[in-house]
Amino acid sequence: MSIRVLPEEVASQIAAGEVVERPSSVVKELVENAIDAGAHDVRVETRAGGKRSIRVTDDGCGVPAAEVELAFHRHSTSKLTTADDLARITTLGFRGEALASIAAVSRVTFVTRAVDEPVGTLLRLEGGRVITRQESGRPPGTAVTVEDLFFNVPARRKFLRSERTERRHIDGWLTRYALAYPALRFTLAHDGRVVFQSPGNDRLRDVLIAVYGLEVGAAVLEIVPDDQQPVSGIRVTGFVSPPSLHRANRGYITLFVNGRWVQDVRLTYAVIQAYHTLLPSGRYPLAVVMVRLPPEEVDVNVHPAKAEVRFRDSDAVFRAVQKAVRRTLLERSPVPIAARPLAAWPAPSAQWRERRERLTGLKPRPAGEQLRLRGERPDVEAPGRVFTPPAGKLPPLRVVGQLGATYIVAEGPEGMYLIDQHAAHERVLFERLLAEREQAEVASQALLEPVPVELTPEAASLLEEHLDVLGSLGFRVEPFGGMTMLVRALPAIVAETDPARVLEDVAAALSAGNVPLADTVEEAVARQVCKRAAVKAGQILAQEEMEKLVRALEQCASPRTCPHGRPTMIHLSVEQLAREFGR
């Protein structure tokens, strides 16, 4: 078989396969060109999920008339001049392949006008060949219409999915760019109907509201950059969900590096790790994380679709992301608010309020008047002003009593707090145990007589493998032949518990130690030990015991969730209670 050079047309179609995978790939490349051209307003319109047509219009700088045809030559770009520029890429596009690849597998109409030219240029191409060129009147900017995608590559066209699926992929790309560039206005229309529009006001929270809805947009916590900038120049911003807001998969973690959406397993894991002990098992946060660093510290030329990057110091970026997200959660996470009203009664009508005023003589509280809570300091007000506790801390709480031998009822600024006594005690014990371990001062209780415990082969093997870890947490355990372990001492917090049950719990924690949110083996074991030691639901507590537990919870670094991620308390605001009582 002889070797021959492929015709230019075939070579272009092969090259297009790396750049243009589906209609959303076309949208991605054209939107990136618009952003690089300095556009402030980008509009995307599609027909039949992009299979019939895609039109991207922008108000960027446009292309000079003399360079319009050159823009469709392979490897023609205005963003690079030498190979050295690859080490300092500051634009989204740089390879000069997008327009040539798109034109090779579709019918393209390209209309553009440079800012400093009086008239624009219209260029039509089919299968990569120019068929029409003429002058055109239009405002500065560019409009690219791509029709009949893969018309000359039927094998590729038949692998496209349904219109609904292709629209969903387009939605995903455009909303990502709206999040990455909140100062730009993005509009998306499918089959003549506008389905998304970002405000373009440079406020990321407003874009989040447009993408995810008001409830999520209002709840997410802003990542504020650390005032002490690291030597590496890594800057992390964005928004993350509070621990009370989570999803069933990792698909809601969106990462940007220097304005480019990327898929990075390590950075995704850094975000998840920041929620360690704050989320229930199998749940994941919602996050939009922006990483900025010097362009020479990241290589974006490692993936055909530019969806992956390589960092010069990946560990530093990992630590910066994890630290920024964790700091935000510890300092800014609010106490979860009850999602449903206490009763299913409808809101009082205006007529009801008027009748109540006539019968009782009580008038509604004037707007802005402050409601003073009984027993609180003069500077604590509700609902006229929201009480803001110190960063990462709970508000001051006054224990009122116990509900159902399970929940501690407390009064605080802005309303009532229901505290899950088991979850709260877990958190207190967990942080106390880890703090004692850090100082090598874990209280251990020797048993009167060593207790042999029979375990499964897997459990015995796990315990024997981690004897040092167990020792650091107050256990004194040793192999006793076969599948038996001899227990000589237990952590003081579980000294009154059956040793067999404690070891079974520890073995279960060790076997699950590789789950995504498990930070260390020590913490996995500590969580299980504290779960066994904490007070249980149904256990009646004295007033002094409840107050002691609440005071200890107030001193915790992460008081709002138990070590397994369940909330320790919920908040019923004064305003919500007032609505329920028709006030």
Q: What are 534-582's pLDDT values in tens digits? A: 999 889 999 999 999 999 999 998 898 898 888 899 988 888 888 888 8
State yes or no: pLDDT of 219 exceeds 80: yes
What CATH code is carried by the domain that includes residue 437? 3.30.1370.100
Stronger pLDDT, 450 or 357, i.e. the higher one: 450
Predicted local distance difference test score (pLDDT) of residue 368: 38
Range with the lowest mean pLDDT among 250-264, 346-360, 427-441? 346-360
- What tokens does 170 get? 């387009």
The total of structural domains in the chain comes to: 3
Do 120 and 252 sit in the same domain of this protein? Answer: no
The half-sphere exposure of 51 on its side-chain side, counting CA atoms within 13 A, is: 16
Query: Does 428 map to a domain?
Result: yes
Predicted local distance difference test score (pLDDT) of residue 500: 87
Q: Give yes or no for a contact between 432 and 530, defined as CB atoms under 8 angstroms apart.
A: no
Q: What are 472-505's pLDDT values in tens digits? A: 999 999 998 878 899 999 999 888 888 988 888 8
State yes or no: pLDDT of 14 exceeds 80: no
Last residue within a domain, chosen from 144, 166, 197: 197
How are beta strands 415-420 and 569-573 bridged, if at all?
antiparallel
Q: What DSSP line would sit under 209-246, residue for residue?
A: HHHH-HHHHHH-EEEPPPSS--TT--EEEEEE--TT--
Stronger pLDDT, 514 or 40, i.e. the higher one: 40
User: Could you tell me which residues come within 8 angstroms of residue 517 by beta carbon, excluding any fewer than 6 positions away?
Assistant: 272, 273, 275, 276, 277, 279, 281, 565
What CATH code is carried by the domain that includes residue 311? 3.30.230.10
Query: Where would I find the H helices in 420-496?
Result: 421-438, 457-465, 467-472
Q: Locate tokens 């770009």: which residue?
A: 77
Q: Quick one: DSSP state of residue 207?
A: H
Strands of the sheet containing 141-147, edge to edge, are 129-136, 120-126, 107-113, 141-147, 53-58, 41-47, 185-190, 193-197
Do 113 and 193 sit in the same domain of this protein? Answer: yes
Query: Does 274 map to a domain?
Result: yes
Q: What are 284-341's pLDDT values in tens digits? A: 899 999 999 988 888 876 666 566 788 989 999 999 999 999 999 988 887 766 654 4
Predicted local distance difference test score (pLDDT) of residue 450: 93
How are beta strands 41-47 and 185-190 bridged, if at all?
parallel
Query: Does 494 map to a domain?
Result: yes
Query: Does 566 map to a domain?
Result: no
For residues 6 and 12, give the distance between their C-alpha atoms in angstroms, rounded to a whole number.
Answer: 10
Do 140 and 279 sit in the same domain of this protein? Answer: no
Range with the lowest mean pLDDT among 176-190, 200-214, 453-467? 453-467
For residues 39 and 429, give the distance between their C-alpha atoms in angstroms, rounded to a whole number.
Answer: 55
Average pLDDT value for residue range 415-421:
92
Predicted local distance difference test score (pLDDT) of residue 374: 29
For residues 546 and 370, give the distance between their C-alpha atoms in angstroms, rounded to a whole number.
Answer: 30
State yes or no: pLDDT of 109 exceeds 90: yes
Q: Is the peptide bond before 383 cis (omega within 30 degrees of 0)?
A: yes
Query: Does 456 map to a domain?
Result: yes
Average pLDDT value for residue range 248-266:
90
Do 232 and 170 sit in the same domain of this protein? Answer: no
Do 316 and 446 sit in the same domain of this protein? Answer: no
Predicted local distance difference test score (pLDDT) of residue 230: 53
Look up the pTM and report it: 0.68
Segments forming the whole domain that contains residue 137: 8-197
Confidence of residue 516 (pLDDT cuts 50, 70, 90): very low
Do 182 and 285 sit in the same domain of this protein? Answer: no
Do 193 and 319 sit in the same domain of this protein? Answer: no
Cα separations in angstroms, 92 against 35, 213, 295, 349: 8, 28, 12, 55
Predicted local distance difference test score (pLDDT) of residue 359: 43
Do 244 and 178 sit in the same domain of this protein? Answer: no
For residues 557 and 240, give the distance between their C-alpha atoms in angstroms, rounded to a whole number.
Answer: 19
Average pLDDT value for residue range 118-147:
95
Query: Does 366 map to a domain?
Result: no
Do 142 and 247 sit in the same domain of this protein? Answer: no
Last residue within a domain, chosen from 314, 332, 350: 332
State yes or no: pLDDT of 509 exceeds 90: no
Q: Give yes or no for a contact between 432 and 557, defined as CB atoms under 8 angstroms apart.
A: no
Query: Does 410 map to a domain?
Result: no
Query: Does 82 map to a domain?
Result: yes
Do 240 and 183 sit in the same domain of this protein? Answer: no
Range with the lowest mean pLDDT among 109-118, 343-352, 389-398? 343-352
Last residue within a domain, chosen from 134, 164, 197: 197
The fraction of the chain above a pLDDT of 70, given in percent, is 80
Average pLDDT value for residue range 146-165:
90
For residues 185 and 112, give the distance between their C-alpha atoms in angstroms, rounded to a whole number.
Answer: 20
For residues 423 and 138, give the distance between their C-alpha atoms in angstroms, rounded to a whole number.
Answer: 64
Q: What is the largest CA-CA distance in the chain?
A: 102
| 298: β partners | 311
Predicted local distance difference test score (pLDDT) of residue 165: 87
Do 176 and 238 sit in the same domain of this protein? Answer: no
Q: Quick one: DSSP state of residue 338?
A: P
**SS3 (DSSP) at 16:** helix
State yes or no: pLDDT of 95 exceeds 70: no
Q: Where are the beta strands (DSSP E) in 370-412?
A: 371-372, 381-382, 398-403, 407-412
Range with the lowest mean pLDDT among 32-36, 72-76, 441-445, 548-552? 72-76
Confidence of residue 225 (pLDDT cuts 50, 70, 90): confident
State yes or no: pLDDT of 84 exceeds 60: no
Instruction: Kindly state the helix (H) or strand (E) to which residue 546 belongs, with its residue range.
Output: helix 543-554
What CATH code is carried by the domain that includes residue 44? 3.30.565.10
Do 232 and 158 sit in the same domain of this protein? Answer: no
